[in-house]
Amino acid sequence: MTRKGASEVRNDFSGTLDRVAKRRDRIVLQKRGKDVAVLVPLEDLAMLEELEDKLDVLDALRAEAEAAAKGEKPIPWEQRGRTAVRPYAGNS
């Protein structure tokens, strides 16, 4: 994976985007020598988001099974207090 400093990317932003979009390169962006972000092709982002969704479902299923094993019943979102925070994906 390629690493580039912020000033290098700024000087050739169009070329950097072309490398990511056309050649499907992943580029780690650095600021003062430290990795701070990554440019990835949209296809990679879609794959990461799909994987994250699948992991969230697995976590929810595990939590439901654990609660069921303890004899607990899940509380629907609508019945939780206003202080309850929905997971990010359902936070609309």
User: Tens digit of pLDDT for each residue in 62-90?
Assistant: 988 998 899 988 777 777 766 656 665 55
What pLDDT score does 75 carry? Answer: 76
Is 57 among the domain residues? yes
Ramachandran angles phi, psi of 87, nearest 5°: -60, 155
Per-residue exposure over 45-80, b if at least 16 CB sit within 10 Å of its own CB, e if not: eeeeeeeeeeeeeeeeeeeeeeeeeeeeeeeeeeee
How far apart (Å, rounded) are the C-alpha atoms in residues 63 and 74?
9
Q: Do both 34 and 55 map to the same domain?
A: no
- Tokens coding 16: 């950097």
Is 47 among the domain residues? yes
Q: Do both 67 and 47 map to the same domain?
A: yes
What pLDDT score does 42 carry? Answer: 95
Q: Do both 33 and 61 map to the same domain?
A: no
- Of the listed ranges 14-18, 23-27, 76-80, the least confidently predicted one is 76-80
In this model, does residue 91 exceed pLDDT 50? no
Is 33 among the domain residues? yes
Distances (CA, A) of 34 to 11, 30, 59: 19, 5, 32
Percent of the chain with pLDDT over 70: 87
In this model, does residue 92 exceed pLDDT 50? no
Can you give the residue range of the structural domain that contains 10? 2-40
Count: domains in the chain: 2
Is 83 among the domain residues? no
- Mean pLDDT calculated for residue range 14-20: 96
Is 86 among the domain residues? no
